[in-house]
Amino acid sequence: MSALLMTLQIGELINGIGSAKVDLEAEARMLVDWITKDVRQSEIKNLYGNDPRGDHIKFNMWEWNQTGFNQQYTDEYVEYSYDNQTETLSREFRNENGDVLVQNFTGIVMPDPDPVSETGKGIFYTNYASPTDNNFNSTDLLNNRRIIVVIKKEKSVRNRLLNFTLVEEVKIRNE
Protein backbone atom coordinates (compact mmCIF):
# COMPACT_ATOMS: atom_id res chain seq x y z
CA MET A 1 0.00 0.00 0.00
CA SER A 2 2.81 2.36 0.88
CA ALA A 3 4.45 1.57 -2.46
CA LEU A 4 1.26 2.59 -4.20
CA LEU A 5 1.09 5.84 -2.28
CA MET A 6 4.72 6.57 -3.05
CA THR A 7 4.13 5.88 -6.74
CA LEU A 8 1.18 8.21 -6.67
CA GLN A 9 3.12 10.94 -4.93
CA ILE A 10 6.08 10.71 -7.32
CA GLY A 11 3.72 10.60 -10.27
CA GLU A 12 1.90 13.67 -9.08
CA LEU A 13 5.19 15.52 -8.48
CA ILE A 14 6.53 14.69 -11.94
CA ASN A 15 3.21 15.58 -13.46
CA GLY A 16 3.16 18.95 -11.72
CA ILE A 17 6.71 19.80 -12.71
CA GLY A 18 6.10 18.64 -16.27
CA SER A 19 3.00 20.81 -16.52
CA ALA A 20 4.82 23.81 -15.10
CA LYS A 21 7.68 23.31 -17.55
CA VAL A 22 5.28 23.15 -20.47
CA ASP A 23 3.51 26.28 -19.24
CA LEU A 24 6.82 28.07 -18.82
CA GLU A 25 7.90 27.22 -22.34
CA ALA A 26 4.56 28.25 -23.76
CA GLU A 27 4.67 31.59 -21.89
CA ALA A 28 8.22 32.33 -23.08
CA ARG A 29 7.33 31.38 -26.63
CA MET A 30 4.21 33.51 -26.62
CA LEU A 31 6.10 36.47 -25.19
CA VAL A 32 8.95 36.23 -27.70
CA ASP A 33 6.44 35.83 -30.49
CA TRP A 34 4.62 38.92 -29.32
CA ILE A 35 7.77 41.04 -29.02
CA THR A 36 9.17 39.93 -32.37
CA LYS A 37 5.85 40.57 -34.08
CA ASP A 38 5.87 44.11 -32.71
CA VAL A 39 9.52 44.84 -33.43
CA ARG A 40 9.56 43.31 -36.90
CA GLN A 41 7.18 45.93 -38.26
CA SER A 42 8.81 48.90 -36.60
CA GLU A 43 10.68 51.47 -38.64
CA ILE A 44 14.40 51.40 -37.98
CA LYS A 45 15.10 55.15 -37.83
CA ASN A 46 12.21 55.67 -35.47
CA LEU A 47 13.36 52.81 -33.27
CA TYR A 48 16.91 54.17 -33.30
CA GLY A 49 15.69 57.65 -32.39
CA ASN A 50 13.81 56.44 -29.30
CA ASP A 51 16.77 55.61 -27.06
CA PRO A 52 17.10 51.88 -27.71
CA ARG A 53 18.98 49.97 -25.00
CA GLY A 54 19.30 46.42 -23.87
CA ASP A 55 16.44 46.94 -21.47
CA HIS A 56 14.31 49.36 -23.47
CA ILE A 57 12.90 49.92 -26.91
CA LYS A 58 10.17 52.18 -28.14
CA PHE A 59 8.73 52.89 -31.55
CA ASN A 60 5.78 54.69 -33.06
CA MET A 61 3.16 53.00 -35.15
CA TRP A 62 2.71 54.31 -38.66
CA GLU A 63 0.18 54.45 -41.44
CA TRP A 64 0.82 54.37 -45.15
CA ASN A 65 0.17 57.77 -46.69
CA GLN A 66 -1.72 57.08 -49.92
CA THR A 67 -1.02 60.49 -51.43
CA GLY A 68 2.53 61.17 -50.28
CA PHE A 69 3.52 57.53 -50.84
CA ASN A 70 5.40 57.24 -47.56
CA GLN A 71 5.00 56.03 -44.00
CA GLN A 72 3.53 58.55 -41.61
CA TYR A 73 4.00 58.16 -37.88
CA THR A 74 0.99 58.25 -35.63
CA ASP A 75 0.84 59.08 -31.91
CA GLU A 76 0.41 55.41 -31.18
CA TYR A 77 3.46 53.71 -29.83
CA VAL A 78 4.74 50.49 -28.32
CA GLU A 79 7.34 50.60 -25.56
CA TYR A 80 9.06 47.67 -23.90
CA SER A 81 10.94 48.26 -20.63
CA TYR A 82 12.65 45.64 -18.56
CA ASP A 83 13.38 45.98 -14.86
CA ASN A 84 15.77 43.31 -13.64
CA GLN A 85 15.12 44.18 -9.98
CA THR A 86 11.46 43.24 -10.22
CA GLU A 87 12.13 40.76 -13.03
CA THR A 88 9.35 42.36 -14.99
CA LEU A 89 9.01 43.24 -18.62
CA SER A 90 6.41 45.93 -19.32
CA ARG A 91 4.71 46.48 -22.64
CA GLU A 92 3.14 49.89 -22.93
CA PHE A 93 0.84 50.55 -25.85
CA ARG A 94 -0.70 53.93 -26.58
CA ASN A 95 -3.68 53.39 -28.83
CA GLU A 96 -5.38 55.77 -31.26
CA ASN A 97 -7.69 57.10 -28.51
CA GLY A 98 -4.71 58.11 -26.39
CA ASP A 99 -5.27 55.34 -23.86
CA VAL A 100 -2.07 53.84 -22.52
CA LEU A 101 -2.42 50.12 -21.94
CA VAL A 102 0.25 48.47 -19.81
CA GLN A 103 0.91 44.77 -19.58
CA ASN A 104 3.47 43.33 -17.21
CA PHE A 105 5.19 40.03 -17.78
CA THR A 106 6.79 38.70 -14.62
CA GLY A 107 9.39 36.07 -13.96
CA ILE A 108 11.73 37.32 -16.67
CA VAL A 109 15.12 36.63 -15.13
CA MET A 110 17.96 38.22 -17.01
CA PRO A 111 21.44 38.63 -15.52
CA ASP A 112 22.43 41.85 -13.80
CA PRO A 113 24.18 44.31 -16.05
CA ASP A 114 27.92 43.84 -16.07
CA PRO A 115 29.48 47.32 -15.92
CA VAL A 116 32.71 46.14 -17.56
CA SER A 117 31.64 43.84 -20.32
CA GLU A 118 28.19 45.40 -20.66
CA THR A 119 26.78 41.91 -20.99
CA GLY A 120 23.51 40.77 -19.56
CA LYS A 121 21.89 44.19 -19.85
CA GLY A 122 18.42 43.12 -20.65
CA ILE A 123 16.42 41.30 -23.26
CA PHE A 124 17.48 43.14 -26.42
CA TYR A 125 20.83 42.54 -28.08
CA THR A 126 22.57 43.22 -31.35
CA ASN A 127 25.07 40.47 -30.74
CA TYR A 128 24.32 37.36 -28.71
CA ALA A 129 26.79 34.50 -28.84
CA SER A 130 26.08 33.23 -25.33
CA PRO A 131 24.72 34.49 -21.99
CA THR A 132 28.18 35.87 -21.23
CA ASP A 133 29.21 36.99 -24.71
CA ASN A 134 26.74 39.55 -25.93
CA ASN A 135 26.11 43.24 -26.26
CA PHE A 136 23.70 45.88 -27.49
CA ASN A 137 24.97 48.58 -29.81
CA SER A 138 22.48 51.06 -31.21
CA THR A 139 24.66 51.89 -34.21
CA ASP A 140 24.77 48.20 -35.13
CA LEU A 141 21.01 48.17 -34.76
CA LEU A 142 20.67 51.05 -37.20
CA ASN A 143 23.13 49.63 -39.71
CA ASN A 144 22.06 46.00 -39.66
CA ARG A 145 18.33 46.43 -38.88
CA ARG A 146 18.67 43.34 -36.72
CA ILE A 147 17.74 42.83 -33.10
CA ILE A 148 18.01 39.70 -30.98
CA VAL A 149 15.36 39.08 -28.36
CA VAL A 150 16.32 36.85 -25.46
CA ILE A 151 13.81 35.78 -22.85
CA LYS A 152 14.74 33.70 -19.85
CA LYS A 153 11.75 32.80 -17.76
CA GLU A 154 12.05 31.28 -14.37
CA LYS A 155 9.47 29.67 -12.11
CA SER A 156 9.67 27.86 -8.79
CA VAL A 157 7.57 24.74 -8.60
CA ARG A 158 7.58 22.62 -5.48
CA ASN A 159 10.94 23.95 -4.40
CA ARG A 160 12.41 23.28 -7.78
CA LEU A 161 13.59 26.14 -9.95
CA LEU A 162 12.58 25.73 -13.56
CA ASN A 163 13.90 27.97 -16.30
CA PHE A 164 13.59 28.23 -20.03
CA THR A 165 15.50 30.51 -22.40
CA LEU A 166 14.38 31.44 -25.88
CA VAL A 167 16.48 33.44 -28.35
CA GLU A 168 15.07 34.89 -31.56
CA GLU A 169 16.66 37.17 -34.11
CA VAL A 170 14.42 39.68 -35.86
CA LYS A 171 15.08 41.56 -39.05
CA ILE A 172 13.36 44.92 -38.90
CA ARG A 173 11.46 45.27 -42.13
CA ASN A 174 10.92 48.98 -42.56
CA GLU A 175 13.82 51.26 -43.43
Chain contacts with other proteins (rule: CB under 8 A)? 1, 4, 7-8, 11, 15, 18-19, 22, 26, 29, 33, 37, 40-41, 64, 66-67, 69, 71, 173-175
Three-state SS string across 29-92, please? HHHHHHHHHHHHCCEHHHHHCCCCECCEEEEEEEEEECCCCEEEEEEEEEEEEEECCCCEEEEE
* Cα gap 152→139, rounded to integer Å: 25
Q: Which is nearer to other proteins, 105 or 136 (CB)?
A: 105
Smallest distance from other proteins to CB 131, Å: 23
Q: Which is nearer to other proteins, 4 or 161 (CB)?
A: 4
Lateral strand order in the sheet of 100-106? 56-65, 70-83, 88-94, 100-106
Smallest distance from other proteins to CB 112, Å: 31
Smallest distance from other proteins to CB 174, Å: 6
Smallest distance from other proteins to CB 21, Å: 9
DSSP 143: H
Q: Which is nearer to other proteins, 24 or 123 (CB)?
A: 24
